């Protein structure tokens, strides 16, 4: 009895009851497809976060106020926005500006960080103020801007921002409190549609205050649900004049001289601010994030996420495997007589084991192949805002586990079939 013969018998066994085989296979299909898709979603979201964080540069950091001392943080541009996603502390997100407490981060703090003797590794500092509940209107069109940042021209360099049309605002604009803005592409599209360059030179009003558009920001894409292009940047002086008042800063963006000096720059920034705020590690009312720490936090949280998704999917694969075993046990019972006949006319234990094991393997193989195909198709669609990235290991793993499942869960029913005594099996009705 050769293997191809056993394959034929097994195939005939599987095709004899097509509905049952299809339903059994479905368990494996769902298991394999969900492993592939869910791991792809996990990988995709991790990749998106990593991309947007590393696009900020590895040598930037953000100082944000923390603790009970208040201070708006809702969006200080890229890094601060992401920082708020990954543990931006207790920063009040809906602070509307009626502050009675001492400001925690001030323009003076920002200025102190530019001290090249106390902070030799810092090459750029930009204070950021954030406008809250800002609505932009232009010729009847209006758009609620989630991120309205006021800063210095240096901010653009620190934040790796580019200008796709028009020009950036200048130090002169900053000094003279000129009411000019740079629009993110999403904001510009919301106001005038596709032809965003037409906005350059036009006057757009924010909460009724007119600002002149001097440029359109280059596109940065999305970080998960966070649209990095749905923002507006203006000189901090003008923003304080018109929208936020002269209270504290929502964050300070800092750039180290290189990625190697980021850690020491972070220490220097922390030391300077500790000195100014009279705080220690225990009482600190601010925190400093650099993209590396955010990246590692994001990566580890994404890894957990991916593992959890994978585990859920693996359980469904296991359930599918139990389905295979269940059906194989039914099949063996149902075909007890057939097993008796085969043994009577000369089938050995090995022949019977092989036949039933192959039936289980065919079921799981079929489920594995269809599951992989469905998984790959399913991964082409954007799922809850995440573009899934198929991880090759998940395909190999899911397929291998499906096969192993068939072998493992087929073994018991097959050996039960093979150990039936022919006279008992023949007598079975």
Partner 1 sequence: MTTAQRPVIDLTDVTKTYGEGDTVVHALAGVTRRVERGDYVAVMGASGSGKSTLMNIIGCLDSPTAGRYLLDGVDVRHRDDAQLSRIRNRKIGFVFQSFNLIPRTSALSNVELPLAYAGVRAAERRRRALDALTRVGLRDRAGHLPSQLSGGQQQRVAVARAIVTEPVLLLADEPTGALDSHSTAEVLDLFDELSAAGRTLVVITHEDEVAARAKRVLRMRDGVVVEDVRTVAVTDLPPDMGALVEA
Counting contacts by CB under 8 A, is residue 350 touching partner 1?
yes
Alpha helices in 127-261 (DSSP H): 154-158, 171-175, 185-192, 236-239
What is the radius of gyration, based on Cα positions, of the chain? 32
51: DSSP letter: H
Closest contact distance (angstroms) between CB of 20 and partner 1 is 13
Q: In angstroms, how far is CA 291 from the centroid of its own chain?
A: 16
Counting contacts by CB under 8 A, is residue 271 touching partner 1?
no
What is the distance between the alpha carbons of residues 82 and 293, in angstroms, rounded to a whole number?
12
Structure-block tokens of residue 266: 């972070």
Counting contacts by CB under 8 A, is residue 16 touching partner 1?
yes
Counting contacts by CB under 8 A, is residue 221 touching partner 1?
no
For partner 1, the closer CB: 115 or 424: 424
Residue position matching structure tokens 């192959």? 358
- Chosen residue from 11, 23, 344, 396 binding partner 1 by CB under 8 A: 344
| Alpha-carbon distance values, 55 to 52, 141, 265, 270 (Å) | 5, 31, 20, 24
What is the maximal distance between C-alpha atoms in the chain?
103
State the number of binding residues for partner 1 (CB under 8 A): 23
Phi-psi region of 366 (alpha: psi -120 to 50; beta: other; left: phi over 0): alpha
- Chosen residue from 81, 166, 340, 410 binding partner 1 by CB under 8 A: 340
| Alpha-carbon distance values, 108 to 248, 292, 317, 388 (Å) | 10, 27, 59, 45
Closest contact distance (angstroms) between CB of 410 and partner 1 is 20
Instruction: Kindly indicate which of the ranges 78-86, 133-141, 167-175, 349-357 contains the residues binding partner 1, using the contact rule CB under 8 A.
Output: 349-357
For partner 1, the closer CB: 2 or 116: 2
Pairing of strands 231-235, 180-183: antiparallel
Q: If we measure between CA atoms, which residue out of 365, 375, 372, 373 comes closest to residue 402?
A: 365
Counting contacts by CB under 8 A, is residue 330 touching partner 1?
no
Alpha helices in 55-137 (DSSP H): 78-85, 107-112
- Chosen residue from 58, 218, 351, 428 binding partner 1 by CB under 8 A: 351
Counting contacts by CB under 8 A, is residue 348 touching partner 1?
yes
Q: With beta carbons less than 8 A apart as the criterion, state whether 128 and 197 touch.
A: no
Counting contacts by CB under 8 A, is residue 175 touching partner 1?
no
Closest contact distance (angstroms) between CB of 367 and partner 1 is 23
Site map (CB under 8 A) of partner 1, residues 364-403, x = contact: ----------------------------------------
Instruction: Kindly indicate which of the ranges 98-106, 196-204, 208-216, 335-343 contains the residues binding partner 1, using the contact rule CB under 8 A.
Output: 335-343
For partner 1, the closer CB: 307 or 423: 423
For partner 1, the closer CB: 9 or 174: 9
Counting contacts by CB under 8 A, is residue 341 touching partner 1?
yes
- Chosen residue from 89, 157, 218, 422 binding partner 1 by CB under 8 A: 422
Structure-block tokens of residue 293: 């720490």
For partner 1, the closer CB: 231 or 335: 335
Q: If we measure between CA atoms, which residue out of 289, 353, 243 comes closest to residue 10?
A: 353
Chain residues that interact with partner 1, rule: CB under 8 A = 1-2, 5, 12, 16, 337-338, 340-351, 421-423, 426
């Amino acid at each position: 009895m050769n293997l191809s013969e056993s394959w034929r018998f097994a195939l005939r066994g599987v095709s004899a009851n097509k509905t049952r085989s299809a339903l059994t296979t479905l368990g494996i299909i769902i298991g394999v497809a969900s492993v592939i898709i869910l791991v792809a979603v996990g990988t995709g979201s991790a990749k998106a976060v990593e991309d947007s964080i590393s696009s900020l540069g590895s040598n930037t950091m953000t100082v944000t106020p923390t603790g009970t001392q208040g201070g708006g943080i809702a969006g200080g541009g890229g890094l601060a926005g992401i920082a708020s996603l990954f543990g931006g502390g207790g920063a009040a997100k809906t602070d509307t500006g009626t502050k009675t407490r001492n400001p925690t981060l001030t323009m003076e703090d920002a200025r102190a960080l530019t001290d090249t003797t106390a902070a030799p590794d810092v090459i750029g500092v930009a204070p950021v103020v954030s406008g809250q509940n800002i609505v932009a209107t232009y010729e009847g069109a209006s758009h609620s801007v989630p991120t309205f940042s006021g800063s210095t021209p240096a901010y653009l360099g620190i934040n790796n921002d580019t200008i796709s049309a028009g020009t950036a605002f200048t130090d002169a604009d900053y000094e003279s409190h000129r009411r000019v803005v740079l629009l993110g592409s999403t904001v510009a599209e919301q106001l005038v549609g596709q032809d965003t360059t037409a906005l350059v030179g036009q006057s757009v009003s924010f909460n009724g205050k007119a600002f002149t558009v001097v440029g359109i920001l280059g596109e940065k894409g999305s970080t998960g649900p966070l649209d990095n292009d749905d923002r507006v940047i203006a000189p901090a002086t003008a923003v304080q004049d018109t929208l936020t008042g002269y209270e504290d800063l929502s964050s300070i963006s800092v750039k180290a001289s290189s990625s190697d000096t980021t850690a020491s720059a972070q220490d220097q920034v922390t030391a300077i601010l500790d000195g100014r705020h009279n705080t220690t590690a225990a009482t600190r009312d601010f925190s400093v994030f650099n993209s590396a720490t955010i990246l590692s936090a994001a990566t580890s949280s994404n890894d957990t996420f991916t593992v959890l998704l994978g585990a859920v999917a693996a359980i469904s694969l296991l359930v599918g495997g139990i389905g295979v075993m269940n059906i194989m046990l039914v099949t063996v019972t149902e075909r007890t007589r057939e097993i008796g006949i085969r043994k009577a006319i000369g089938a050995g234990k090995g022949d019977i084991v092989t036949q039933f094991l192959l039936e289980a393997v065919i079921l799981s193989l079929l489920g594995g192949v269809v599951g992989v195909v469905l998984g790959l198709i399913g991964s082409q669609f954007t799922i809850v805002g995440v573009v899934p990235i198929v991880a090759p290991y998940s395909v190999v793993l899911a397929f291998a586990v499906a096969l192993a499942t068939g072998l493992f869960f087929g073994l018991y029913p097959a050996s039960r079939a093979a150990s039936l005594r022919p006279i008992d099996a023949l007598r079975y009705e």
